[in-house]
Structure 1
Amino acid sequence: MNTPSRAVLLIEDELKIRRFLRAGFEIHGFSVREAGNAADGLKAATFNAPDLVILDLALPDMPGAEVLERLRSWSNVPVIVLSVTSTEDEKVRLLRAGADDYVVKPFGMAELLARAEAALRRYLRNATRTAVISAGPLSIDLVSRTVFLDKRQMRLTRKEYRLLQILATHLGLVVTHDQLLADIWSVNQRDNIQYLRTLVRKLRQKIEADPNNPRLLVTESGVGYRLHSRIETSPGE
């Protein structure tokens, strides 16, 4: 049986560097997906679930540090940052923000591959099948990306799962409209809030005993939404 190739996402705006990275990773058995800007990179990370992300800090549409922050709001995928800056303060700031490693340009492919293998080993040691979040009758397995309601596996669309995943990783906390819009659609304009309301309504129809009187996925008026760890005894709207 063939071992599935590991998937790496390259978020880098310089075509020459992307080609260099692609060649190096593919030679070593990785499957590679490319993104030339932050918006495309976040979409690819959401929909394709890479095993590793290589993230350039100098992107044309959003600072790489902000991309890292958004990734870390819902994912623990290993992230290696690329930068022309080598100051200690910068490295410490990004490592504290959730980067797994930091490589300064210019760099050799052998060094990057060694760091990638080390990051993947650490991740695999920590990623166990116990990464399950419980919310009332819901069970959300963040590793296998499966959801059970009263021990019955549910069928969710990608966006429905993404919404539930974000709320589950912030269990009991309010997640703002702007954050949800940015993380699910890569937009934060309030003109698009109807997209979010429609998605919430569809998800409630699947997880709530009474979608018109939600007790798990509740609205925080004018702010956002909250997923409770247990069924609330008072109406959520």
Structure 2
Amino acid sequence: MINDISVLVIEDDKSIQNFIRITLKTKGYHSVFADDGLTGISYFYANNPDIILLDLGLPDIDGMEVLGQIRKESNIPIIIVSARGMEQEKVDALDEGADDYLTKPFHAGELLARIRVALRHKSGLVKPETAFELEGFSMDFEKRKLIVRGEEVHVTPIEYKMLKLLVLNAGKVLTHHFIQNEIWGYDTNDDYQTIRVFMANIRRKIEEDSANPRFIITEVGVGYRFTEN
């Protein structure tokens, strides 16, 4: 139940704190707030929260350090909430172990949606399923079949593996680094053109309009996300 879910918010901006507090309260989440990184780490140990919202620009230590320390201890869902919009910082945070990244300002609905996705991953609802369906798109993982708008779509083994990776993490941003390691087992660090080519091919096969994709969303400079709704 939502009322049993505790959210630790590590954020020093009072206006953002109030906005998040009100947003969480409307849905019945219990929230605990820390104004700096060291307090946030202390509250993490003391309160055993279900999910963390973490700002990167904290007054005492950098949010990336907080992320690193907590991630060494726990796989708790962590959503970065920051005014830093640099693509590399998003990539670094996600690769360091953050589950998602929200750039300020953001809407209440978007925050709540990202929280729901992160909690589903924690609860184990996002796991190796036998099938996935969403508005005319379906994958049968046992039969390795892909159906789009009523028609079976043929994809290459790599395209299938990549699409399955995205689908099983629906709603979650997957970085280029993560995708390359999962699909090929290595990372070239700076050349992700191969991934872009494969994604373009997959989109041509599953999207009605590949220029305005419905299913596979590009997180510019960061990676890709398969929509969850």
Class of the TM-score when normalised by the shorter of the 2 chains = 0.5 to 0.7
Deviation at 1:27, TM superposition (A): 0.8
Q: Which amino acid aligns with 1:20?
A: F
User: Which whole-Å deviations, capped at 9, do the CAs of 1:141-176 have from their partners, x for residues lacking one?
Assistant: xxxxxxxxxxxxxxxxxxxxxxxxxxxxxxxxxxxx
Aligned to 1:79: 78
Structure 1 residue 5: Cα displacement: 2.0
SS of residue matched to 1:73: helix
Q: What SS is found at the alignment partner of 1:81?
A: strand
Q: Which amino acid aligns with 1:58?
A: G
CA deviations 1:80-136 (Å, max 9, x no partner) are 0011122322111110100000000111111011001000001111799xxxxxxxx
Instruction: Give 2:99's aligned residue.
Output: 100
Stretches of structure 1 lacking an aligned partner (at least 5 in a row): 129-237
* Number of positions where the alignment pairs a residue of Structure 1 with one of Structure 2: 127
Partners in 1 of 2:105 and 2:38 — Cα distance? 25
Distance in structure 1 (CA, Å) of the matches to 2:78 and 2:124: 16
Instruction: Write the mapping of 1:57-72 to structure 2, written as runs, cut at 5 A.
Output: 57-72=56-71
Check 1:21–1:3 CA distance in 2 against 1; reply closer, same or farther (3 A cut): closer
Q: Which residue matches 1:88?
A: 87
The separation in 1 between residues aligned to 2:107 and 2:15, in whole angstroms, is 14
SS at match of 1:58: coil
Say which SS state the counterpart of residue 119 (structure 1) adopts: helix
CA RMSD, Structure 1 to Structure 2 (Å) = 1.9
| Amino acid paired to 2:53 | I
- Give, as a single letter, the amino acid of the residue that structure 2 aligns with 1:6: I
Q: Distance in 2 between matches of 1:3 and 1:88?
A: 32
The corresponding residue for 2:54 is 55
Compared with structure 1, are the counterparts of its residues 105 and 3 closer, same or farther at alpha carbon in structure 2 (3 Å cutoff)?
closer
The alpha-carbon distance between structure 1 residues 5 and 86, as it changes in their structure 2 partners (threshold 3 A), is same
CA deviation map 1:9-57 (0-9, x unaligned): 1100011111110110011010010100111111110011100100000
The whole-number CA distance in structure 1 between the counterparts of 2:54 and 2:66 is: 8
What is the one-letter code of the residue matched to 2:17? Answer: R
In structure 2, relative to structure 1, the CA distance for the partners of 1:92 and 1:33 (3 Å cut) is same
Q: Distance in 2 between matches of 1:20 and 1:49?
A: 23
Query: Normalized against structure 1, the TM-score is what?
Result: 0.51
2:33 is the counterpart of 1:34:
yes
For residues 65 and 28 of structure 1, what CA distance do their matches in structure 2 show? 28
1:116 aligned residue: 115
1:20 to 1:4, Cα distance in 2 relative to 1, 3 A: closer
- SS, match of residue 114 in structure 1: helix
Q: What is the identity percentage for the equivalent residue pairs of Structure 1 and Structure 2?
A: 40
SS in 1 for 2:4: coil
**What CA distance in whole angstroms lies between the structure 2 residues aligned with 1:60 and 1:89?**
21
User: Which structure 1 residue ranges, 4+ long, deviate > 6 Å from structure 2?
Assistant: none
| TM-aligned CA deviation for residue 3 of structure 1 | 6.7
